[in-house]
Amino acid sequence: MPRAIVLNRADNVATLIDTGRAGDGCVLQGEASGEVKLRQDVPFGHKLCIRSACAGAEVLKYGQVIGKATRALEVGEHVHAHNVESARGRGDQIKR
């Protein structure tokens, strides 16, 4: 059974520390516990949604905003560049 780590209680994504396949139950570890069923294959090191989010919602990892959902995200869904616009390292999105 694949595992994923949640780095901060506020996070709405977890990072897989094993490769996961669609339909697998994924055990959450770290700052959250429980199990999430994967909707798609998720490679090692990639993120999965642990709380649903609407389009435009902030994606939180490390307790920090790392991007915005470009469409609605469902629990167990692979979260990556295909459904999140990155906010990290972008000078045009620095809050002053």
Residues of the chain below pLDDT 50: 96
Residue 95 has a pLDDT of: 55
Residue 87 has a pLDDT of: 80
- Domain of residue 14 covers 3-93
- Model-wide pTM > 0.85: yes
CATH of the domain at 14: 2.30.130.110
Residue 35 has a pLDDT of: 97
Tell me the longest C-alpha to C-alpha distance in the chain: 44
Contact between 59 and 71 (Cβ < 8 Å) = no
Residue 41 has a pLDDT of: 97
Residue 21 has a pLDDT of: 97
Number of domains the chain is built from: 1
Backbone dihedral angles phi then psi of residue 2, each to the nearest 5 degrees: -65, 155
The per-residue DSSP string of 2-34 comes to -EEEE-STT-SEEEESS-B-TT-EEEEEES--E
Q: For residue 26, give every residue at least 6 positions away whose Cβ sits within 8 Å of its Cβ, in sequence order, or none.
A: 1, 2, 3, 4, 14, 16, 20, 35, 36, 37, 38, 42, 48, 76
